[in-house]
Amino acid sequence: MTIESDAPSSGPEGGATMRLEIARLGSQGDGVAERPDGGAVFVPFALPGERVQAVVSGERGELATIEQASPDRVAPLCRHFTRCGGCAMQHLATVPYAAWKRQLVVEAFNQRGIAADVAPLVSVGTSTRRRAALSTRATKNGIVLGFHESRGTTVVDLAECPVLTPRLAAMLPALRGLLSSLPRFEGEARVRVLEADNGYSVAIDDALAGRKADADLVSRLAIAARAIPGLVRLAIDGDVIYQSATPTIAMGRASVTPPPDVFLQAAKAAEDALARIVVEALPKKVSRVVDLFAGVGAFTFHLAERARVLALDSDAGALEALSRAARNAQGLKPIEVRHRDLFREPFSRKELEGFDAAVIDPPRAGAKAQSEMLAKSKVPLVVAVSCNPATLARDARILIDGGYRLGRVTPVDQFVFSDHVEVVAVFKREK
């Protein structure tokens, strides 16, 4: 028996205190204790091999005490850990942590009946995240700015953050001062921060309750923005109201100016690792590549060092940034940009003719319709990049059933200490 119940005691939602033997880690990083009846209890921040006391309600357990700690338990880096929902795994040592993240990918493919050759986790280290979407509230005690608490809606006011770049983390107090220049806002607003190569870009949404910023507010915010060292652009609800320079990000041989609301890979080191894996998968002789869900060109510009590239995406702002960067870049093969919603209108089998390779990097929902078109095509090589192993495995099943052979699968730890993992999978068409 793996669970022993002590005398019931009061706890969250009327739970009872129980002694649990933690058997394994779940997909979200929770310690999992097995019930004699075949069920399970999920206990956040507990590790395999530990004996713990937890307040249990249904399948959820809240860690109370650790009677026997795992040798893999380490001291967390951040004072906010266990309360802030930004991290789930600061308490696990490096080697078992990497093994757990790799296993998430293995299990996702196993569930689709695919025995994948999964490489060791590629680590980019801590303090590497160059962008973040923070939440903020205006309270009687001042501005609260941070991530939501673990499994809750309260915003944890961050005093530090070991996953952000040091300069971005050091900017938090200045951001609170900037937010204080806004009219007192009700509810919760969003703050998206980006550390570009030449400064910071900040975008604030939902703080004005749908109202447009008047001239007085724009002037006040511009003065506050100018006082923050390194802040080059400030946008409110999509409108740029202050810009001292154009924020730029190097992507291969190009320099991209991302719009305030555009998607970017969270960590520069992870983006570089993903691009390297993608390019290394190309054959020695390659002349044409299609980049599906290209965004602002994280892979496009690296691919264009080897071949002509057709880049497609539904985000017109991202494609404009890509086109502008391509016009100013030197030493690249031709890049063609095409606006297209690949969910509603996937690139067809006929359109895919003549391409030596396809690179596909869809959102978390994956790209079922586009994968079906690729499966019907004759494209020799498909390189799939995904932030969701489950939907990647689903799309991989489609490609394999269409005649592709799955090669190496490489997980990249872009979102350190979380249960998210980026993955690159290489598919070659069987001759």
Spatial distance between the Cα atoms of 297 and 259, rounded to a whole number of angstroms: 13
Residue 36: pLDDT above 80? no
The gap between the terminal CA atoms of the chain, to the nearest Å, is: 53
The predicted structure's pLDDT at residue 152: 86
Residue 1: pLDDT above 70? no
Residue 422: pLDDT above 70? yes
Condensed to tens digits (0 to 9), the pLDDT of residues 56-69 reads: 999 999 999 999 99
The predicted structure's pLDDT at residue 397: 98
Long-range contacts of residues 58-61, Cβ cutoff 8 Å, at least 24 apart: 60/15, 61/15, 61/18, 61/20, 61/33
The predicted structure's pLDDT at residue 2: 45
Contact (Cβ atoms closer than 8 angstroms) between residue 293 and residue 360 = yes
Condensed to tens digits (0 to 9), the pLDDT of residues 294-304 reads: 999 999 999 99
Phi, psi of 336 (to 5 degrees): -105, 135
Residue 363: pLDDT above 90? yes
The predicted structure's pLDDT at residue 11: 43
The pTM for the full model equals: 0.93
The continuous run of DSSP H or E covering 209 comes out as none
Look-up of token digits 């939440």: 135
Reply yes or no on whether 78 is catalytic.
Answer: no
The predicted structure's pLDDT at residue 212: 85
pLDDT (mean) for 126-134: 96
Spatial distance between the Cα atoms of 46 and 24, rounded to a whole number of angstroms: 9
Read off the amino acid at residue 333.
K
In which band, very low, low, confident or very high, does the pLDDT at 3 lie, cut at 50, 70 and 90? very low
In which band, very low, low, confident or very high, does the pLDDT at 14 lie, cut at 50, 70 and 90? low
pLDDT (mean) for 358-383: 97
Spatial distance between the Cα atoms of 116 and 356, rounded to a whole number of angstroms: 24
Arithmetic mean of pLDDT over the chain:
94
Q: Which of 78, 84, 87, 387 is catalytic?
A: 387
Condensed to tens digits (0 to 9), the pLDDT of residues 206-217 reads: 999 888 889 999
